[in-house]
Structure 1
Amino acid sequence: MTGRTGEGTKTVAKALAVLGCFRGGGELGVTEVARRMELAVSTTHRLVTALVDAGFLEKSPVSSRYRLGGALAEYGQIAYRQHKIYLVEPHLEQLATTTGASASVAVRHGNDAVLLGTSRWREADGHQLQGVRLPLHASALGKALLAWSEPSEDELARLPFTDGTDRAPTDPAELAKELARTRERGWAFNDEELAAGFRTIGIPIRTAEGTARFALGLRGTTGLMIPERVPFFADLAKVTATEIAAVLFAHE
């Protein structure tokens, strides 16, 4: 019985990993997925078929390739309501309108900060879109989530330091110093560490106990977020983070 359970768990893990291949939002063929997963094509085809049957993937009638399915939209809406993002969006829009930058809110999931909500696109975003999952070590949102959660040395050591530009922290010691600076000044900063030409300020959205359950990000081009403006933008974002915390944690 234990063996069957173990095999079932491995199959579920593989299926979820296959689903993860589609995070970029594009279409993929079975062979491409198999290559990325380092699995046999036949095995990959069975996993993809199961995901299609569940509605998590769908086959394009035009290209015959696969893409994310409609069932995920349903789960996304459920998460949207559970995290009360609809209450946060007006605050994001107000901050974005005031600064001309893009505002977002994120939560930690494993080694990444996952965006739950973002203000509407504006010219300050440029044409390079920000991903939905951002590495903790190289993103302002991730640093804010880490800095106010008191991570241990072992936790920092387990983080991958593979993503980001050459401006991002490259090891746990460097990141620990950056997190100490972040706590001291009260906000996190990503200075072209994920994408050249873009800077992001990260502010913790803290519970009454002081833990950062969410983080607020303010992202713009280096032309908009010049060094002289960054502290002012950070102060505006802090006010917004306080307002969002009051909304999210009102009944706790």
Structure 2
Amino acid sequence: MQTVTRALSVLDCFRDGEERGVSEVARRQGLAISTTHRLLTALVQAGFLDKDESSSRYRMGGALAEYGQIAYRQHRIYLAEPSLEQLAATTGANASIAIRHSIHAVMLGTSRWRETDGHRLMGVRLPLHASALGKALLAWSDTADGFLDTLPYHEGTTRSVSTPTELRAELDTARARGYAYNDEELDPGFRTIGLPILTPAGDCRFALGLRGPTTLMIPERIPFLVELATVTAADIATRFAS
């Protein structure tokens, strides 16, 4: 069990899409070089990592792309793609869909790359308390106070909430106004609105996000963007229910 846990922890070092060498991974994980090398070799053999023989550095492997495609199809994210693209084209922002996994919101689908994001790889695992997607997933779910106590409030920027009490108040506000909001709480210069994608029974399994720079997501435009996103969330909910 310890070996499996260590291997998964090593794999976690590559979530940002960067290549890394043995020494860097060992330092990040607090492991011996020999142990790290064995774990990396096993991950390469399993296809979870690839090794560049010329540089001796490692990167995400093809097997993970296969698993990603399986998850993509199982969650039927392809049904939401036309709606995401239409919303992105209409607003000029990035539209995405996410699901809750433990203490994070995980993006399963997003509209095509937009110039507003530049070439930087956007994270797909977002802290629940500091992301509009995460707040939407929490606000429209039965979330106990005890769970809010476990969230990593050190993640995010100085603008994100820092206590369970603050988060609970923000979730209540989101539920009352109909959308969650991220005002530069993850990335300076970017804002996101988040809305629930509800099942016919009223459960919130997925959330819809609309992200853009502060120059686009100005306060005066938020009501209009929320209106468009609300229509999109309802359309995706209908597609998922069919």
Q: Name the TM tier (shorter chain).
A: over 0.9
Kindly tell me the number of residue pairs found equivalent between the two proteins.
Answer: 242
Matched, 1:94 2:86: yes
Quote how far apart the aligned CAs of 1:145 are.
Answer: 0.5
State the Cα deviation string for residues 27-61 of structure 1 (Å, max 9, x = none). Answer: 11111111111111111111111111100011013
Quote how far apart the aligned CAs of 1:78 are.
Answer: 0.7
Provide the secondary structure at the position in 1 that maps to 2:220.
Answer: coil
Name the CA distance, whole Å, in 1 between partners of 2:208 and 2:73: 18
State the Cα deviation string for residues 50-95 of structure 1 (Å, max 9, x = none). Answer: 1111000110133210111111111111111111111111100000
Q: Give the TM-score of the pair, scaled to structure 1.
A: 0.93
Matched, 1:47 2:46: no
Matched, 1:159 2:146: no
Provide the secondary structure at the position in 2 that maps to 1:166.
Answer: coil
> What is the RMSD computed on CA atoms of the aligned residues?
1.1
One-letter amino acid of the counterpart of residue 66, structure 2: E
Matched, 1:218 2:210: yes
One-letter amino acid of the counterpart of residue 123, structure 1: E
* Corresponding position of 2:232: 240
Quote how far apart the aligned CAs of 1:126 are.
Answer: 4.3
- For the structure 1 residues 25 and 195, does the alpha-carbon distance in structure 2 shift closer, same or farther, using more than 3 Å as the test? same
Superposition pairs of residues 49-128 of structure 1, within 5 angstroms: 49-128=41-120
Name the CA distance, whole Å, in 2 between partners of 1:129 and 1:43: 29
Query: Where in structure 1 are there 5+ consecutive unaligned residues?
Result: 1-8
CA contact (8 A) 1:168 1:194 kept: yes
- For the structure 1 residues 59 and 126, does the alpha-carbon distance in structure 2 shift closer, same or farther, using more than 3 Å as the test? closer
Name the CA distance, whole Å, in 1 between partners of 2:160 and 2:121: 19
Query: What is the percent sequence identity of the aligned residues?
Result: 67
Q: Give the TM-score of the pair, scaled to structure 2.
A: 0.97
Name the CA distance, whole Å, in 2 between partners of 1:23 and 1:148: 28
CA contact (8 A) 1:207 1:213 kept: yes
Query: Where in structure 2 are there 5+ consecutive unaligned residues?
Result: none
Match of 1:21 among 6, 13, 18: 13
Quote how far apart the aligned CAs of 1:124 are.
Answer: 3.0
* Corresponding position of 2:221: 229
Name the CA distance, whole Å, in 2 between partners of 1:195 and 1:130: 10
| Worse-matched range after superposition: 125-134 or 88-97 | 125-134
Runs of 4+ in 1 over 2 A off after TM superposition: 123-130
